[in-house]
Amino acid sequence: MKIFLNLLAGVAGGPITRAREFLDIFQEKYTADDCLIVVKEEGFLDDYVSMPGRVIIDVALGKGKLRLLHRLAWENLMMYKVINKHQPDVFLTFSHYLPITYNRKIPSVVGVANLAPFSPEAWKEELWPIRLKMLLLKRTILYSCNRAAHVVALSETCKQTLIDYGVSSTGITVASNGVSSYWKEKVLPSLTLRRIGVTKPFLLYVSHLQRYKNQIRLIEAYSRLQPEIRQKYQLVLAGGAQNYNYYKELHALIFQKNMSSDVLLLPDMNKVNLRILYQGTTLFVCPSLIENCPNTLLEAMKSGAPVAASNILPMPEFAQDAAKYFDPLDVDSICQTLNEMLLKPTVYLEQLKTLSSEQAEKYTWELFVGNVRNICYSVVNLNNK
């Protein structure tokens, strides 16, 4: 089977991790029978080259605000020529977009990675320019799903959401992201924590700074913790400032609350430092208003961190009994949950660590890649009948 894999949208964060894991595992396990034709952006994933069982095609899209338009133009005006040249059996993308010009003679598998446009909670948090983008993205996702031969949902929550919006349930399969064993390999923090400003036990949230990620309510809840807890713990927020206006609001709130040494905003943390943070935190807090497959939550759990999380799906779907839940829209609920957990005997958090580790073992990249490959085979077989 020849799979044409479009990775042009995978340039940062979770999409890059998923792309790497998929390429590595596919090359190791499946290229004796199958071949990948991979389209990616020039300058990203450059350590992946063509070899037996894998063809790499680089596309130059440029940088800046016009990059997205360049990508859409290439996908709709040029990609079909590349597809026709290589004659794949199936088209695969994880970026929930099927080009308007796509030839349906070749069956397509479309993965849906972003549920934010479908979330009323996320919608209410955003300003109108972002709301317009979310509306357009929602329509694009639904249009692509309804034209695809099959849809890969990263969670049961994603599958049900798509069904609620009219996508046929028979055309959707759940294949959740995995989480690497890298995160549970034990490390010693050495001087790293102190170098990045962590001088006390700390609470941790890892996520890009976006309004629906809900860092602002977590900061407010932290400011209301009981005095003995506030004095004992710092709050560490690791993640890039994708929304600069929101980043400035967070800084202003921290300054207003006189918590500059207590609340740390740490952008651009590499994997080594993130693993140290995950393994060193007293409590991982995930107040996000919407996720599809919450990657950093799974990474924290794989690292053995005890978890307090949003009660909005899919967080309970993935963490199940391994976390304590709160209402992420209610600052008092977040604050009360953190107070209760941090005032309990140490053995309580140790028990949660064990539950986290055990729950995270259910999610592997090997399972994800195998599931996606099986989906591709099923649509090819159906198309050939």
d(CA 362, CA 356): 11
pLDDT digits (tens, 9 = 90+) for 271-301: 999 999 999 999 999 999 999 999 999 999 9
**Given a cut of 90, is residue 102 above it in pLDDT?**
no
Considering the domain architecture, whether residues 260 and 174 belong to the same structural domain is answered as no
Q: Region 39-53: what's the mean pLDDT? A: 94
Q: Region 73-93: what's the mean pLDDT? A: 94
pLDDT digits (tens, 9 = 90+) for 210-252: 999 999 999 999 999 999 999 999 999 999 988 899 999 999 9
Distances in whole angstroms, Cα of residue 254 to Cα of each of 222, 237, 265: 10, 12, 10
Considering the domain architecture, whether residues 144 and 229 belong to the same structural domain is answered as no
Count of beta carbons in the 10 Å neighbourhood of residue 325 = 17
Distances in whole angstroms, Cα of residue 154 to Cα of each of 134, 142, 165, 202: 19, 15, 16, 30
d(CA 254, CA 252): 5
**Given a cut of 90, is residue 3 above it in pLDDT?**
yes
pLDDT digits (tens, 9 = 90+) for 176-219: 999 999 999 998 766 688 888 999 999 999 999 999 999 999 99
Q: Which of 35, 48, 25, 45 is nearest to 1 (CA)?
A: 35
**Given a cut of 90, is residue 20 above it in pLDDT?**
yes
Q: Region 302-326: what's the mean pLDDT? A: 98
Considering the domain architecture, whether residues 67 and 205 belong to the same structural domain is answered as no
- pLDDT for 204 equals 98
Considering the domain architecture, whether residues 18 and 133 belong to the same structural domain is answered as yes
pLDDT digits (tens, 9 = 90+) for 361-381: 999 999 999 999 999 999 999
Count of beta carbons in the 10 Å neighbourhood of residue 213 = 28
**Given a cut of 90, is residue 259 above it in pLDDT?**
yes
Considering the domain architecture, whether residues 353 and 370 belong to the same structural domain is answered as no
Residue found by looking up tokens 């949003």 in the block: 310
d(CA 250, CA 16): 27
Q: Which of 17, 61, 97 is nearest to 299 (CA)?
A: 17
CB within 8 A of 191, min separation 6: which ones? none
Considering the domain architecture, whether residues 45 and 126 belong to the same structural domain is answered as yes
**Given a cut of 80, is residue 305 above it in pLDDT?**
yes
User: Residue 340 sits in a domain of what CATH number?
Assistant: 3.40.50.2000
Please say whether the beta carbons of 112 and 292 come within 8 A: yes
Considering the domain architecture, whether residues 286 and 242 belong to the same structural domain is answered as yes
Number of domains in the chain: 2
Cis peptide before 306 (omega within 30 of 0): no
Query: Considering the entire predicted model, what is its pTM?
Result: 0.94
- pLDDT for 127 equals 87
**Structural domain span for residue 258:** 181-360
d(CA 155, CA 116): 14
Least confident of 6-20, 87-101, 104-118, 241-255: 6-20
- pLDDT for 190 equals 67
Considering the domain architecture, whether residues 97 and 223 belong to the same structural domain is answered as no
**What are the φ/ψ torsions at residue 203 (nearest 5 degrees)?**
-95, 145
Please say whether the beta carbons of 116 and 70 come within 8 A: no
Q: Which of 281, 295, 70 is nearest to 179 (CA)?
A: 295
Considering the domain architecture, whether residues 118 and 220 belong to the same structural domain is answered as no
Considering the domain architecture, whether residues 152 and 198 belong to the same structural domain is answered as no
Higher-confidence residue of 37 and 197: namely: 37
Considering the domain architecture, whether residues 148 and 186 belong to the same structural domain is answered as no
d(CA 48, CA 129): 37
pLDDT digits (tens, 9 = 90+) for 130-182: 999 999 999 999 999 999 999 999 999 999 999 999 999 999 999 999 999 99
Considering the domain architecture, whether residues 14 and 71 belong to the same structural domain is answered as yes
